[in-house]
Amino acid sequence: MKLWAGRFKKDTDSMMDDFNASISFDSRMYRQDILGSAAHVRMLGECGIIPREEAELIRKTLFEILDDIERGRIGFDVSAEDIHMNIESILIDRIGQVGKKLHTGRSRNDQVALDFRMYLRDEIKAVKSLLLDLEGVLLKLAESNLDTIMPGYTHLQRAQPVTLAHHMMAYFQMFRRDIERLADCYKRVNIMPLGSGALASTTYPIDRMMVAEELGFDGITENSLDGVSDRDFAIELASCLSIIMVHLSRFSEEIILWSSAEFGFIELDDAYSTGSSIMPQKKNPDAAELVRGKSGRVFGSLMSLLTVMKGLPLAYNKDMQEDKEALFDALDTVKSCLAVFARMLDTMKINRDGMLNAAKGGFTNATDLADYLVRKGVPFRDSHGIVGRMVAYCIEKKMALEDMSLDEMKNFCSLVSGDVYDAISLESCVKGRNVPGGPAAESVIASIKNGKAFLESQSM
């Protein structure tokens, strides 16, 4: 008989049991459920709501159940619906009537909200750790490629020369913001809802702060209706995860392009590539393609949560059971993507000559030639037009700007002199952009230093 079945005259249909049950996915919260229950029952004993010795017996038995679960000695029962009722049923089986006192002063509504928040705290820390690992790989790549010149792109057209170090540090900043977003989200996750009851708290003289302190929460929810009926913290986390996947997907797209013969900038390690069932020559960037593809899965989880919550009246509704499976899947997906992506990056080979040749071949120094003319006294709009005509001339002659003779250049602007070639060399183009945030080695080194300090601050 179900623990809630007192007013019912018949059992639920077996099909309804399967439809209603969430044990298949919420069983992963067993640790959080037991720790939350242990803190709750300790408070019940301390506040004199139940005898202290009974509270200690329940608490002791809960930890024994935890140990048995982790040793694989316990299986869960779908007829008990969820992890919360499963553990309570096991407790009652072991210590009888005393076990039935565990649920005094709480509802499954605030119990579920508590377990969910506790689980998400742990998962946020796990995602953050993986992001920090990826950031470490990016810093290593940046440090070893300060002088690796490559084309920077806009509209996927070669635009200006940068370095691979500068490019890697762009992603470092994106993932840094992802870490900061997770930290900010954690603040709103780490508020304890237990004590909200089903929706209207409880008449028992409970001490919510005692439980919150034992479980490591920063505070308690201030409204019992809100405590059990919103999942904005879950939606916010799903949003953070989606943004992480946006960044991973964009990066994956570049890795896929760079590893193609058309770009030839990198070669992925065999351990993170696959072959073709029919074409023997193929080496496919499947790791990056899967990361790119799985982004849609995470976005879908965010949309699922938004849709579930958008029309719900206060307080709890069974619709909210759909919050966990979507977010659990998003968390699992992001963690697996981060782990594989970091290893893929760390093991790839970089074709420095290929990157340099691409930067040489796309008039990426055209802006620097225009700036050179500005320094000679030509207004920028005029210099822009002059260099545009020079580029058109070079395209017609199938040459680069630096291949033009001095006389050819003077035909377009008489102010050009012999120092132009140094001014438009790719090395000068990069070195000259030594402003904070620019691609010059000195600026990137400062960015790397700041990045290392950030990583150190996160490990404290």
Q: Which residues are catalytic?
A: 155, 276
Residue 276 carries which side chain, given as an amino acid letter? S
Nearest to 266 by CA among 348, 183, 386: 348
Phi then psi for residue 220, to 5 deg, are -120, 155
Count H helices and E strands in the chain, helices first. Answer: 19, 6
Count of CB atoms situated within 10 Å of the CB of 328: 18
Inter-residue contact 109 to 228 (CB < 8 Å): yes
Give residues with Cβ within 8 angstroms of 88, minimum separation 6: 3, 37, 99, 102, 103
For 77, what's the count of Cα atoms within 13 Å in the CB-facing half-sphere? 11
Q: Which residues contact 213 (CB under 8 A, 6 or more apart)?
A: none
Count of C-beta atoms within a 10 Å radius of residue 440: 19
Give the separation between CA 350 and CA 266, rounded to whole angstroms: 5
Return d(Cα 254, Cα 248) in angstroms, integer: 10
Contacts with 141 (C-beta within 8 Å, 6 or more apart), sequence order:
164, 165, 168, 345
157-163 and 149-154 beta bridge pairing = antiparallel
